[in-house]
Amino acid sequence: MADNHYKLWLNYYPIENTIIKNSIVKHFNNIQVLNNDATIDIIKKELNIASAGFINRDVKFNTPNSETGLLIGTLDKLPNNIAQRLDGEFKSHEGFAIFQHNNTIVITALSTVGLLYGTYNLLENIGANYPLTGVKNFSEPLIQHRILNHWDNLNGTVERGYSGASIFNWHTLPDYIDQRYIDYARANASIGINGTVLTNVNSNATILTGTYLQKVKALANVFRPFGIKVYLSARFSAPIELGKLKTADPLNADVQQWWANKINEIYDSIPDFGGFVVKANSEGQPGPQDYNRTHADGANMLAKILLPKKGIVMWRAFVYSHEQNEDRHKQAYNEFTKLDGQFLPNVMVQVKNGAIDFMPREPFHPLFGAMPKTPLMLELQITQEYLGQATTLAYLAPMYKEVLDSDTYAEGKGSTIGKLLHNQKLNGIAGVANIGADINWTGHLFGQSNWFAFGKQSWNYNASPKEIADTWLKLTFKASDNFYQDISKIMLNSREAVVKYSNPLGLHHLMGTGHHYGPEPWANYLPREDWNPTYYHKADSFDIGFNRTKTGSNALSQYKPEVQQQWQNEDSIDLKYLLWFHHVNWNKKLNTGRTLWNELCYQYQSGCDDVKNMITTWQKYKNELDMPTFNHVNMLLNIQYKEAVWWRNSSTLYFQTFSKLPFPQFLEKSDKTLEYYQSLKFPYAPGHH
Amino acid sequence: MADNHYKLWLNYYPIENTIIKNSIVKHFNNIQVLNNDATIDIIKKELNIASAGFINRDVKFNTPNSETGLLIGTLDKLPNNIAQRLDGEFKSHEGFAIFQHNNTIVITALSTVGLLYGTYNLLENIGANYPLTGVKNFSEPLIQHRILNHWDNLNGTVERGYSGASIFNWHTLPDYIDQRYIDYARANASIGINGTVLTNVNSNATILTGTYLQKVKALANVFRPFGIKVYLSARFSAPIELGKLKTADPLNADVQQWWANKINEIYDSIPDFGGFVVKANSEGQPGPQDYNRTHADGANMLAKILLPKKGIVMWRAFVYSHEQNEDRHKQAYNEFTKLDGQFLPNVMVQVKNGAIDFMPREPFHPLFGAMPKTPLMLELQITQEYLGQATTLAYLAPMYKEVLDSDTYAEGKGSTIGKLLHNQKLNGIAGVANIGADINWTGHLFGQSNWFAFGKQSWNYNASPKEIADTWLKLTFKASDNFYQDISKIMLNSREAVVKYSNPLGLHHLMGTGHHYGPEPWANYLPREDWNPTYYHKADSFDIGFNRTKTGSNALSQYKPEVQQQWQNEDSIDLKYLLWFHHVNWNKKLNTGRTLWNELCYQYQSGCDDVKNMITTWQKYKNELDMPTFNHVNMLLNIQYKEAVWWRNSSTLYFQTFSKLPFPQFLEKSDKTLEYYQSLKFPYAPGHH
């Protein structure tokens, strides 16, 4: 049976280059490991798995009378003459160094988890066919908390999950340890992810009962030696639901005592428990505002108890009020900036990359740089809720890089989000996982690249999306250099293609209602105005777009003046943000030489053309790949093309009802009517909570 | 990475015996195939996969100047001198023969699907290490319709499914053909399954919409060359829900026209569509009785339209009325026997093996043999709804055999259910699938053996559970003969163990409410009396058991006199059915030498001891198996033991509140109180619809 890609990027394909192969044989023939703990056991196991794959041999440890090929040990255990050769000073217990000493490759670190990271790094280099000789690497994470957020429910479903059921089988835990849990931990550790929130932010208090905490403990025990901490989402009303209290008021002594007891109970089972993520007073979730307390009151109540235990609180900023009719873009900023300085030091305010909701492209969230006294945590989405779900090839590293490189000007030019995070005493990046029980974990094989990239970029926000793609491709496919080059190009262009055919020129929130599948820019029937696509595009017979300048909602005022200056003028703003901030006349001539209407049509068409090109490129490699792998991607690309055309046709037909302008010639004619597209219903689209 | 058992019994492990290996090399070195169609393509592919596994070589077809090693062709294509050697005459297009002619192994049949079955049979024999020389087999199915029933919902959940989400991804169909669909078809064809009902009997009319029928068509196209037909569950009220009619009355002309149009639409897409299964007027499902029509009226309305298209209707007999306070055991018989002779010839009444509901043991359903003019279809459950779900090793072939061998005495002694079915002009066996998207398909690895056995036993109801287990073990594990022998014993005893520790002496329906997980014999709070365990065990301070004799509900009267005689006397009835038919005094002395109370305790204890022994046996083979496989079963057996003890402790503690008798010494003392057991809640137990 052909490759089903369960192994992710840990394939350890046989090395064909004889020189590299011989060099591996030499180095793996005598490995000395100077430490001894559960993490070291994992290092040894991983070396065995890798060696079996790369060179079809067992590794040998501590071979007598033989030169050491690979020396693995924490810095304090290294012989002095070797330790002295370390080129750099560790600032993090997670950092590692790899260097050559005579004929020996040395991996060192301050902790065994650092050694594990170093080992994975070495194996990755081998897998990507880089020569071992002269290997040299000194790497430390720029971000402390690199955390997956699973929106997994206790009944096994996954909110916004498109790759099968939850991998966490709460029913059979704690007694059944699925091999998946181990392989999940291996995959995460191999890319530097060091934390996982096991449960949905739309939380269920049951996870905090004794029975379930024993299940969490079992997972924590599996993950611990991989350097991965577990976290849970905390339902703010748990003291009522589980504790039978009358209130969950964070200033109530009984409530505080209930949480203190609960947190003690957790730490009794899981001494290195990571802490809580909390979605409070947001989309119907309970929170401190139910008791006229602030988000700071709520977060600090938990943080105070967690502080001596080294636990943290990740308090989500994704709030928008039921009462206010304010531009949703502005609400988190309004709610949170006034609380700056009020949070305990082990609280991070967790902020999505943009102010709306994980759109294919958003300008960066105005909270970044706006709360200098509060550590912010960046929340990215790996699952493709708004980027075609699991039938779309959209490589997200360029999007993450765009966010991390965004200059807030908070401390002058160059105050990128990445740097701001790094400079915080406490920092972290969360990624909403795209992982499910599908054999290949992510539904779309290329979804694996987004999990991979998230790990790499949260370790090092300067990492190059191209280099990440190149490495991932080599680890994932046994193919030719031409394949790697061509498919790397596809990947790097893929997110932009999705933007073009679904959310061009700064348009946003045009997707199907509820399930968020496909286009529904005409939807205007939802009870909250700001849940409707029509609220966001504001098309009329003259103009289209959301005026967020001074003459509109003035969300733009939440940014620093330098940023405002970039975006405030519809003539000079980067076209990618044009309709995000401006309500623009259909006939306005843009610097592309086209009118707005024609440019919009051009973007839709161009996105479709891009997908067509992706298909052509993929099909060039039919004979290089095993059939199931080729077919998998080929079928999905064809679905993506269908969906791109659906976006293009339905959106241009719909917007034409406002613009009343003729379609430019380059736009392919729709073979369906707008009414047809409007009639489509998807009652069982996946991932809808 | 170690074996994850995705390949099921189609592992094609390398052959180590040199003689057998050389013989395979010889036979696979020149294969002649005399036919040519899509099924033949599959035969060739399968031979290639098998050859790669068995002998790590490609097979060769039509090698010039070389003796034919394997000749595959339908009877009409065989050279006369070879055709004449066929020892038997095919009565079924699905039958096959394998025999040796000089140095050539010949596989022949009337159809290419028969050739496919023959090929799988040959490969199975190789996989089980039987010598090829002198191979001889003539095999025909004794049952025409060997059908899996998937209780899979369109949203991807599976009712009573314990092995992950549905394998059918309705969202990505028809454009995405998951490799799973192909491997599912391979697995089914390899064991003779020739039909599959894709959707839950608790049906959703959406499956009959045009959009979904295109998805069904895509699956039918995949399954067709494997000899597998697709069937759907039909929601009786679909004419109202989809057709906007005011009624679904089967005698209404508009309703009939709606179904005629719908069925035409289906056959336009799927010319060999198999037909419908219908659950009507049962547990809230709509049906003909809503319009004062009979089940025959409903079934015939569909059957009449399906008849010219060669489609069938499988009309379920699992009905029990909301209004009647009659013993549920009797209701299907009462409802259906009066309709005998009224059904069109392409209707089968689908009857569960027992009258209650797939209990670990039930006496056979009294409808068998009671409707001589109506073809009945036997419905078995493969998914272990009441047999420990996916954490229990319960090999079900002995249970199926017990049912198939049950003598109804309908046409005198020897009128077993198997024979009665076989003698019908139209016949079939349905198995409620235990298949899900878990990597190993069935959650518990040994669940695969039940899928395998279902195929084998529905092909040949005389097949020996031991031989099936032995073959399955050899195809599934690469291990020693001792392992096969010991684990075969475990398998053969496993279902009886479950009966002993959960439903001893004919007790039944004692499981947890709703989710059916674990014991809850005390439950008495459900709105319908016959949904409560207390209704079934009827324990009081004197007696326990359900009196179904003349002095009780007299369900016994629904059986033939010879059967009644076996079961009517509490002194002579087989103890396994004692409390099914009798309300018996706690102090009654049984022929085991123990009182009823002590015997009950003995059974509970003995079942637990059996599981403990299974663990001991399994652990003997730790070093023979790869670790994930060993651990998988080992962890599950330990869970099973916990659950067995939970059944034993809670049940004996609970029944003691009635018997007031002391526990016998051999009964291990419970470390928990009855109150503790009664407090347990499982809100997220899987498979609950």
CA B553/CA B366 separation, integer angstroms: 14
Instruction: Flag whether pLDDT at A1 surpasses 70.
Output: no
**What structural domains and CATH numbers belong to chain A?**
18-139 (3.30.379.10), 145-466 (3.20.20.80), 499-546+583-679 (3.90.1330.10)
The mean per-residue pLDDT over the stretch A119-137 comes to 91
Cβ-Cβ contacts under 8 Å, B180 against chain A: 439
CA distance B171 to chain A (A): 6
For the segment B493-537, what is each residue's pLDDT rounded down to a tens digit? 999 999 999 999 999 999 999 999 999 999 999 988 889 999 999
Q: Which pLDDT tens digit goes with each residue over A51-70?
A: 999 999 999 998 888 899 99
More confident residue, B149 or A134: B149
CB atoms within 10 A of CB A467: 13
* Separation CA B557–CA B365 (nearest Å): 12
Provide φ and ψ at B589, rounded to 5°: -85, 125
Euclidean distance between CA atoms B435 and B151, whole angstroms:
10
- How many other β-carbons are positioned within 10 Å of the β-carbon of residue B264? 11
User: Left if phi > 0, otherwise alpha if psi is -120 to 50, otherwise beta: which for B444?
Assistant: beta
Q: pLDDT digit string (tens) for B219-244?
A: 999 999 999 999 999 999 999 999 99
Q: What per-residue confidence (pLDDT) applies to A87?
A: 84
Q: Nearest residue on chain B to A178, judged by CA atoms?
A: B632
Side chain identity, residue A360: P
Average pLDDT, chain B: 96
A241 touches chain B (CB under 8 A): no
pLDDT at B65 over 90: no
Which residue in A155, A233, A159, A157 sits closest to A196, CA to CA? Answer: A233
- Rounded Cα distance between A432 and A455, Å, is 12
- Count of positions (residues) in chain B: 689
Give percent of chain A with pLDDT exceeding 90.
Answer: 94
B1 near A CB under 8 A = yes
State the catalytic residues of A. 283, 357, 385
Mean pLDDT of the B448-473 span: 98
Residue B626, pLDDT above cutoff 50: yes
- Best mutation site among B175, B627, B677 for testing chain A: the one with the most A CBs within 10 Å? B175
Does A635 contact chain B (CB < 8 Å)?
yes
Q: For A465-489, what is the mean pLDDT?
A: 97
Using CA atoms, how far apart are residues A473 and B536, in angstroms rounded to an integer?
61
User: Which residues in chain B are closer than 8 Å to A175, comparing Cβ atoms?
Assistant: 635, 638-639, 642
Q: Residue B629 CB: number of other CB atoms within 10 A?
A: 22
Compare CB distances from A164 to B49, B437, B684 and report the shortest one's residue.
B437
Which residue does chain B place closest to A11, by CA atoms? B1
Select from A4, A170, A635 the Cβ nearest to the Cβ of B176: A635
Which of A122-131, A630-639, B46-55, B573-582 is least confident?
A122-131
pLDDT digits (tens, 9 = 90+) for B640-674: 999 999 999 999 999 999 999 999 999 999 999 99
CB contact under 8 A, A439 and B686: no
Q: What is the pLDDT of residues B307-319, one digit of tens each?
A: 999 999 999 999 8
Q: Would you state the pLDDT for residue B1?
A: 42
CA B31, distance to chain mean position in Å, is 35
DSSP per residue over A415-468, as a string?
A: -BHHHHHHHSSS-EEEEE----SSTTSSSSTTHHHHHHHHHHHHH-TT--HHHH
- The residues, ordered by sequence, that sit 6+ positions from B166 with a Cβ below 8 Å of its Cβ are B150, B152, B153, B156, B157, B158, B436, B437
Query: A109 - beta bridge partners?
Result: A96
pLDDT for the residue A247:
98
- Cβ atoms of B328 and B336 closer than 8 Å: no
Which residues of chain B make contact with A642, given a CB cutoff of 8 A?
175
Residue A586 scores a pLDDT above 80: yes
What is the pLDDT at residue B2?
A: 53
Alpha-carbon separation of residue B550 from A127, B553, B556 (angstroms): 76, 7, 7
- Residue A56 has a CB neighbour count (10 Å cut-off) of 10
Asked whether the predicted pLDDT for residue B322 surpasses 80, the reply is: no
Residue B683 contacts A where some CB pair is shorter than 8 Å? yes
Share of chain B above pLDDT 70, in %: 99
Nearest to B73 by CA among B105, B47, B48: B105
Looking at B392-444, list the stretches that DSSP marks H as alpha helix, in order from N- to C-terminal side.
397-404, 417-423
Nearest-by-CA chain B residue for A685: B171
Task: List C-alpha distances in Å: A128 to A12, A43, B688.
Answer: 9, 19, 46
Query: What amino acid is encoded at B102 in this protein?
Result: N
Distance CA B56, CA B78 (A): 30
Q: What distance in Å separates residue B134's CA from the closest CA in chain A? A: 30
- Chain B residue with CA closest to A164: the answer is B165
In the predicted model, what is the mean pLDDT of residues A645-652? 98
Active-site positions of B read: 283, 357, 385
Beta carbons of A227 and A113 less than 8 angstroms apart = yes
Chain A contact for B45 (CB, 8 A cutoff): no
For residue B390, which residues of chain A lie inside 8 Å, CB to CB? Answer: 172
pLDDT tens per residue across span A221-256: 999 999 999 999 999 999 999 999 999 999 999 999
Taking residues B436-464, report their average pLDDT. Answer: 98
Q: How far is Cα B436 from Cα B166, in angstroms, rounded to an integer?
A: 5
- The interface pTM score, or ipTM, of the predicted complex is 0.96
pLDDT, tens digit, 9 for 90 and up, residues A179-225: 999 999 999 999 999 999 999 999 999 999 999 999 999 999 999 99
Contact residues, B window 509-568, toward A, CB-based 8 Å cutoff: none
pLDDT of A393-437, one tens digit each? 999 999 999 999 999 999 999 999 999 999 999 999 999 999 999
What's residue B529's pLDDT? Answer: 87
Q: Which residues of A touch B631 (CB under 8 A)?
A: 177, 179
* Confidence check: pLDDT of B20 > 70: yes
pLDDT attached to residue B226: 98
- Diameter over CA atoms, chain A: 84
Residue with tokens 């999505």: A352
Find the mean pLDDT for residues B79-106: 95
B1 neighbourhood in chain A, CB within 8 Å: 6-7, 49, 183
Strands (E), A440-544: 543-544
Percent of chain B whose pLDDT exceeds 90: 94
Q: Inspect the interface and report whether the beta carbons of B155 and A684 lie closer than 8 Å.
A: yes
Q: How confident is the model at residue B88 (pLDDT cuts 50, 70, 90)?
A: confident
Helices A38-55 & A112-127 angle (0-180, nearest 10):
10
Minimal C-alpha gap between A391 and chain B (Å) = 8
